[in-house]
Structure 1
Amino acid sequence: MKKILNIVEYNKASLGVRFANNFLDLIVLIVINYILYGIFNLLYKTTSIQFFYFYNNGGVLWELFTGNLNYFLYYFLMENYTDGRSISKYITGTKVISTDGTKPTTQQIFYRSLSRLVPFDGLSFFGTNGWHDSWSETRVVNIKNYESEIQAKREIEAIGVKEII
C-alpha cells in the first residue's frame, strides 16, 4: 500500500470538476462509438465480411461488451499515454497522479480503467473517493494548485541553502 501525501489530498479536484470530466468524456466516447459504427458499417458494405455487420448488429449483449471495451480502452490509452489525462482532464486542468505524488504506473492505470466497469462506480463519489481512485491508489488533482504547492514547498526547503555560482 502506497502512502498518501497530504499535498495530494489537499489538491484533489472537486466533485463538480469530476462530474464535468465524466460528462465530457462521455460525450467523447459517444462520438468515438458513432465513428466506429460508421467505419464498421462502411467496411461491411465494401467487403461483406460478417464480423463488420455483427459489430453494428450483434444484439444487446454484444453492444454491452463492445461499449465496455471501448470505455476501458479509451481511459486506459488516454491516461496511460498522455501523462494521466483524458480529453476532459485537458479541458478542466486536472490529471491523475498516485497517492504518493508520483506518476501512476501502467498497472495502476490498468486497474483504474478496469474498475470503472464496475456498475455504479459513478455513484461511489458520494463517499470520500471513488472506487476507481481508491482501488488503484490514485487521485485526480487540479494541476495548477498542486504544482504551485509543490513549488512553494521546494522554495521553503531551499531557504538557507547556499547557491553555487
Structure 2
Amino acid sequence: MRKYLAVVDRHKATSGTRFINYFLDRLFIQVIFYAFFFIFGIGYAIVYGEGFDAENSDKSFTFTLITLFIYLAMSFSYFFFMEYYLGKTIAKYITGTEVISIDGNKPTAGQIIARTFSRAVPFDSLSFLGNNGWHDSWSDTRVIKGKNYVAERQSKEEINSIGVKEMI
C-alpha cells in the first residue's frame, strides 16, 4: 500500500483542465495516426509504383482490424511513453499539469501501464468528472497542477530544514 500524501490531492487538476487534456490528447493521437498512414501511403507508392487503393481497403474486414490495432497501439504507446518518461503528455504540457503517484513520487511503469489500460474501460473518459478518474484511482496516480505542487513541496522542505545545521 502506498503512502498517501494530502498535498497531492490539494493540487489536483480541475475537471475542466482534465477535459481539455482529454480533448487535446485525442487530437494529437489522431494527427499522429493520420501522419503515420500518410507516410505509409508514400512509402507504398514508392515501393510498388502505385497508390494505395482506399476504396477496396475500406471494404476489407482485415484492413479494418489492422487499422484498429495500429490505432490502439499508437494510443497506448503515446500515453505510456509520454507519461512514464516525461510525466506528462503533450496536452499536459499545454495545461501545466503532470501525472504523479499518490505518494508524491514519479509513477512506476506498472502504475502507468495500469493507468493506460484503464483508459480502455467504457465511460472511463467521463469518470474524471467525479472526484478522481477511474484510471487515476485504479493506478494510484493523480493529475496535478505542477507548479503549485512543486512550490508547496519546496516551501515545506525549507520549513523543515530550518534549524538543521549544515555540514561544510
TM norm structure 1: 0.87
- Please, which of 76, 80, 83 is the counterpart of residue 76 of structure 1? 80
Structure 2: runs of 5 or more not aligned:
none
Mapped partners of 1:145, 1:13: distance in 2 = 11
Check the 8 A contact 1:93/1:143 in 2, yes or no. yes
Structure 1 residue 110: Cα displacement: 1.3
Q: 3-state DSSP class of the match of 2:100?
A: strand
Structure 1: runs of 5 or more not aligned:
none
Task: Kindly report structure 1 stretches of 4+ aligned residues shifted beyond 6 Å.
Answer: none
Check the 8 A contact 1:72/1:117 in 2, yes or no. no
Check the 8 A contact 1:78/1:86 in 2, yes or no. yes
Deviates more, 1:57-66 or 1:32-41: 57-66
- Cα distance change of structure 1 residues 140 and 53 upon mapping to structure 2, 3 Å threshold: farther
Check the 8 A contact 1:8/1:146 in 2, yes or no. yes
Mapped partners of 2:167, 2:33: distance in 1 = 57
Give the letter for the 1:10 counterpart.
R
% of aligned pairs identical? 52
Q: Name the residue aligned to 1:105.
A: 108
Structure 1 residue 164: Cα displacement: 4.3
- Cα distance change of structure 1 residues 120 and 59 upon mapping to structure 2, 3 Å threshold: farther
Q: Name the residue aligned to 2:47.
A: 47
Check the 8 A contact 1:11/1:145 in 2, yes or no. yes
User: How big is the alpha-carbon RMSD for the aligned residues of Structure 1 and Structure 2?
Assistant: 2.0
Check the 8 A contact 1:40/1:53 in 2, yes or no. no
TM norm structure 2: 0.86
Mapped partners of 1:32, 1:116: distance in 2 = 19
Matches within 5 A, 1:144-159: 144-159=147-162
The aligned length equals: 160
Give the letter for the 1:85 counterpart.
K
Mapped partners of 1:63, 1:120: distance in 2 = 22
